[in-house]
Each structure stands twice: as C-alpha cells, then as structure tokens.
Homo-oligomer: A and B are copies of this chain.
Amino acid sequence: VKKTVSIVGASGYTGVELVRMLLRHPLVELKHVYAFSSAGKTVAEVYPAFTKTTDLAFESIDNLAGDTSDFLFFALPHNESQKIIPKFFGKKKILDLGGDFRLKDAGEYERYYNAAHTAQELLPQAVYGMPELNAGTIGTAEFVANPGCYPTAAILALAPLAKNHILPDNVSIVSLSGVSGAGRTPSQKTHFAEANESVSAYKVGVHQHTPEIEQALGILAGKKITAAFVPHLLPITRGIHTTVAIHIMNNYTLADIRSMYAQFYSTAPFVRLLPEPPRILDVNHTNYCDIHIARDEHADTIVILSTIDNLIKGAAGQAIQNMNLMCGFTETAGLA
C-alpha cells in the first residue's frame, strides 16, 4: 500500500514540478495539492501541460487542517511555512522546500531574509536534507528542510574539500541560474525582453543562500567558512552552474583532489564526476549534480565546476530523494 502525500503551495514552479514527479512515483499517491490564488482550478487549467495526466485540482489551503496524508511537502514562499508547519510538527512527516528551517541560527535568518522567525523552537528539530552529506540522519528524520538551489550546487561542489580540511576559510562562489529560479510571478527582471540576450549579477553579498552555504560547509570543515557568493541571472529557463576557483592547492595534485571527490561521492547515486566541464544541458530534467575538477597549473589553482537542474536536484527532485530516505524507500525511487 502506497504512502499518501500532499503538497502545500503546489502551484509555483517548484510545487508543480513536485506534482509532476510525485504523479510518476511508484510508491506514493499524491492526494491533495493546496494553493492560494489557484485554489479551485484544476492543475491542468493552470498548467496545460497536465491535461490528460491528472484530474487533481488545487484546493484552498483552508482544507489543510483536515488533511490525512502520511507526508506533507511545503513549497511556500519565504516566511510562510514557519506559520503552518508548527501545527503539523510531530503529527506527520514533513519536508519543507522553503528557506524557513534551513538555518540553525535564527539571527542569520532574520538578517538575510529580512523577517522575524516565529517558530524558532523548531529550528533544532529540522534536519538539513542533503542526502550526500547526511543520508543516515535524514532516514530517521520526521522533519527535513530541503536545501536551496544555489546551496545544493555550491555545497556539493565543495563538500569533499571541506571534509578533507583543505577548504580555505574564505571562498568565492560564482553561480549562474536560469530564470525559473526566480519563481512564477512576473517582474521586470524576469520579463523576457529584459532577461533574454543578457546576463547580470544580483544581490551581490546579500543573497539569502549565503549563510546556508557557509553553515553546511562549516559543519563539514569543522571551522567557520565565509563565502563571497555572487549569483547571476542567465537567459535559460532551468539550470544552475557553479564555478569556484581556489588558489594555493599546491600540496595536492589534481589526482589527489579527484580521488577525494570520488571517495566522498562513492555511494551518492546522483552525483556524477565528469572528465570534462559539465553542461547544464546534461542535468536538466534530472536529479543529477555533475561535477568536474580542473587544475590550472600555472596559477596553482583548482577549479571546481558543478551543475544541477534548479527545479529538480535544486528543489523537487531532492525533496523526493529526501522523502525516499525518510520513508525507507530506495533513495532513487521515482527519480530515474
């Protein structure tokens, strides 16, 4: 008998990607999709791509109180899930795709998200859900905070260095994201004629994913890691590319470093170490994170490149990977 799951905030790009993937998942049944403004419409009315594939309709979030699903996904904007999750905590398994429960330090949250945190008592209860780092803990968790899209690509790019204590205290991370990362609400920045044939950096030094990257790498490294994080908007729909150059790695050969990565990810089904620079093209519509490590000999610099699909490994796919672990399913179920 299949587990029943529901999604709170199912009508955004992340939510609807989750709908798509859960409808195909062999071990769960998607029961309810709750939404705000789309409530009352069928999924196919809002997203014609779903015509003939599901009869599900978005329900008002008011119906959530009576939900009987075994598992709840939350795909809400910042500051929203913290208002609802406390009501369900301890009653059923919960996975939050938003940013409210990723940071252990409420001060950091308030600083970067420009909002108060009203459910700080749950912060210690939330397990950060990056299976490549802590699959075991996730496997026994009742409440998992799914990583952000940028952090997923950045942390996976650097985790082996952090774990092997060769990540410098300060690291610069250049990330490029497709426009779907900005969500479904139109804005000047995501207007086709403004985003197309262009690229620009934004939120330099103040992006809310910065402390999340620092927290995860800091835990692995056992020391404080400070990241200068520079996100850029790219004229593509999906995908994230991360580039990190680290100087003075001269005690380590390229083979040493590659071997660290191979070992670190030896049991990770969704990390691929490629012999060439990864292309966003090759990870789109998949749950893979592709990583390539190069060494610029003349500059004594290691360059790490990683790619993910921001909506899959950076959101819905990783959420299902976490759900699989939390429910005792095969980690890759529904994700191949």
Q: Which residues of A contact B (CB under 8 A)?
A: 13, 24, 47-49, 51-53, 170, 172, 174, 176, 178-180, 184, 186-188, 190-202, 204-206, 210, 226-230, 232, 234-239, 241, 243, 245, 247-248, 269, 272, 274, 276-286, 288, 290, 292, 294-301, 303, 305, 307, 336
Contacts and interface: CB of A to CB of B under 8 A. Distances in A.
A294 B205 CA distance: 8
Given A191-B184, A277-B204, A298-B226, A196 B196 contact: yes
Contacts of A180: 193
A199 B236 contact: yes
Nearest to A188: B186
Q: Which 9 A-B pairs have the closest CB atoms?
A: A205-B296, A186-B186, A198-B281, A172-B245, A228-B301, A49-B282, A228-B299, A179-B192, A200-B279
B280 A200 contact: yes
A179 B196 CA distance: 10
How many chain copies?
4
Given A179-B196, A186-B190, A234-B235, 7 more contacts: A51-B272, A172-B247, A186-B191, A191-B191, A197-B280, A199-B279, A201-B277
A29 to B, nearest CB: 15
Interface of A is mostly: mixed
A251 B192 CA distance: 41
Contacts of A228: 245, 247, 296, 299, 301, 303
21 contacts: A48-B290, A51-B282, A170-B301, A172-B299, A174-B243, A186-B188, A191-B192, A192-B195, A196-B236, A197-B237, A197-B280, A198-B279, A198-B280, A198-B284, A200-B279, A201-B243, A205-B303, A206-B296, A230-B245, A234-B234, A285-B285
A13 B194 CA distance: 11
